[in-house]
Amino acid sequence: MFGALVSFTLIGVSGREIAGQLATSEIMFLRSLIGVAIILVVILLTNRDWSQLKTARPGLHLIRNLSHFVGQFGWLYGVALIPLAEVFAIEFTAPLWVAVFAPFFLGERLNRMRILAILVGFIGILVVARPGYVEISPGMIAVVIAAMGFAGSMIMTKKLTGTDRPVAILFYMSLIQTPISLAVAGGEISLPHGMGWFWLVMISVCGLTAHFSMAKAFSYGDATLVVTMDFFRLPLIAVVAALVYAEPITLWVVLGGGLILIANYVNVKSATPGTTALRGKR
């Protein structure tokens, strides 16, 4: 989980740093391309077990990655526009959106505690955004949509884990999102310069290490413990943003983020056995 926390934090910082050089669609195209290359090289240099990339559900991979693309695009777009602590706070509503969608797609029961968690989480969004007191920015809207996209991705991941190995899920994520990103970019891709390459590689590598670290954490410890440890990403990114970008840690982010984290904890505690490990990230 320490590896996951560091990886997610570095993705946020790297996304902010490279936003001045490349459009969001260009970042996603190059990141996905590098991700495919990294996975293929790792397999080639280790056990050369190409069977772990097999899948019998290509259609479900496509649906998952269309949803994940929306989440990833909105997240990277928001990182460039609003304080990082706000991005991470709003993004934490993704598991709550899963609770909203899961009864329709996974047949899971929406009990009273989960309904309470959803309501508290959305109140947390309102506290962070403060509509009526400050203008709702495109960045905030993008991250809310991103959280919904990540929720859809989590649900499809839950379905895929029954048949496909984690490496296959990561591989097809990068493979499918490469042409999607190219199409959104209009077929024209600019290349970064100078330190831009460093930040781009950081996004690509940390995206893979974050997923891998989370999967390993779930295999070693209880899902409730892993998910609650993931909540430390919010105060961590708030401190990093304050030190690196001089972004103030506002009372509204602390209060709203706290409500969202409490809502997530209630949601996790109310989950039935075997469902709390439902997670999916950038």
Neighbouring-strand partners of residue 134 = 131
pTM of this structure = 0.84
Residue 35 lies in a domain: yes
Residue 281 lies in a domain: no
What's the pLDDT score for residue 214? 77
Name the DSSP letter for residue 161.
Answer: T
Residues in the chain: 282
Number of domains present in the structure of the chain: 1
Neighbouring-strand partners of residue 131 = 134
Residue 133 lies in a domain: yes
Residue 105 lies in a domain: yes
What's the pLDDT score for residue 273? 52
Determine the structural domain holding residue 169 and report its residue range.
Answer: 2-269
- pLDDT tens, position by position, for the chain (282 residues)? 889 889 989 999 999 999 989 999 999 999 999 999 999 998 999 878 898 899 989 999 999 999 999 999 999 999 999 999 899 888 888 888 888 888 887 777 778 888 888 888 889 888 888 876 777 889 999 999 999 998 888 888 878 877 888 888 889 999 999 999 999 999 989 999 999 999 999 999 998 888 778 777 777 766 666 767 777 888 889 899 999 999 888 898 899 989 988 888 888 777 655 444 444 445
Q: What is the DSSP secondary-structure string of 43-94? A: HHHTT--GGGG--S-HHHHHHHHHHHHHHHHHHHHHHTTS-HHHHHHHHTTH
Q: Tokens for 226, please give them.
A: 């892993």
What's the pLDDT score for residue 30? 95
The residue with tokens 């401190």 is 239
For 201, the enclosing helix (H) or strand (E) is helix 196-220
Residue 279 lies in a domain: no
Provide the 10 A C-beta neighbour count for residue 246: 7
Q: Which amino acid is at 72?
A: Q
Q: Tokens for 262, please give them.
A: 């409490």
